[in-house]
């Protein structure tokens, strides 16, 4: 379905996840550069910084979590395409609709519900790294869990809107 015939909310959600996905691309570049710096500092100068090594892990976690909605938007997630790709548009729309409503959205809701106390506690104590010399503000990284679930849930709504339009003959 082209962006022109997509529901307005789906277009808005797509744009949001597209921007976040492009940000993840830049974060991936930063992760590669920091990793290279860690290796060069370690092996060429015998220097190591815990905060630098942790930043690679934080960047990786951030890219992975924030990229979920982007991956769903571009259909880069795991699916049994051997069946799906040969099906009619209507049958695929049913799979997308039911899969989103009965699997994706409840999973996102569960992650949001279960992680909010985890994140709130981290914010309440202004949690930092357990490692000496590690990164401060671990609560910011934990907040990404909530953001990722919301972005994925929104992209699921866009998928439902598109599937519904397809099923209604749009």
**Neighbour count for residue 139 (Cβ, 10 Å):** 17
How do the domains of the chain map onto residue ranges?
8-78+87-167
Q: How far is CA 10 from CA 73, 101, 108, 162, 163, in A?
A: 10, 15, 18, 7, 11
- Neighbouring residues of 163: CB distance < 8 A, sequence distance ≥ 6: 93, 94, 96, 97, 100
The pLDDT, as a whole number, for residue 170 is 62
The Cα 80–Cα 37 span in angstroms is 39
Question: What is residue 122's predicted lDDT score, i.e. its pLDDT?
Answer: 97
Identify the CA nearest to 142 among candidates 164, 116, 160, 162. Answer: 116
Q: What is the pLDDT of residue 84?
A: 81
- DSSP tag of 130: S
Pairwise CA distance, residues 104 & 130, whole Å? 33
Tokens of 65: 């979590």
User: How far apart are the C-alpha atoms of 58 and 138, rounded to whole Å?
Assistant: 9
Predicted TM-score (pTM) of the model is 0.90
Tens-of-pLDDT digits for all 170 residues of the chain? 455 578 899 999 999 999 999 999 999 999 999 999 999 999 999 999 999 999 999 999 999 999 999 999 998 877 667 788 888 999 999 999 999 999 999 999 999 999 999 999 999 999 999 999 999 999 999 999 999 999 999 999 999 999 999 999 86
């Amino acid at each position: 379905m082209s962006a022109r015939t997509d529901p307005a909310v789906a277009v808005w959600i797509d744009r949001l996840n597209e921007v976040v996905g492009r940000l993840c691309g830049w974060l991936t570049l930063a992760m590669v550069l920091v990793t290279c710096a860690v290796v060069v500092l370690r092996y060429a100068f015998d220097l190591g910084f815990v905060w630098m090594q942790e930043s690679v892990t934080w960047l990786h976690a951030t890219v992975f979590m924030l990229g979920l909605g982007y991956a769903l938007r571009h259909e880069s997630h795991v699916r049994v395409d051997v069946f799906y790709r040969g099906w009619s548009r209507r049958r695929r729309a049913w799979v997308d609709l039911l899969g989103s409503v009965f699997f994706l959205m409840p999973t996102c809701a569960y992650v949001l519900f279960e992680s909010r106390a985890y994140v709130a506690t981290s914010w309440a104590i202004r949690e930092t790294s357990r490692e000496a010399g590690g990164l401060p503000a671990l609560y910011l990284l934990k907040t990404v869990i909530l953001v990722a679930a919301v972005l994925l849930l929104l992209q699921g709504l866009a998928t439902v809107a598109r599937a519904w339009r397809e099923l209604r003959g749009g």
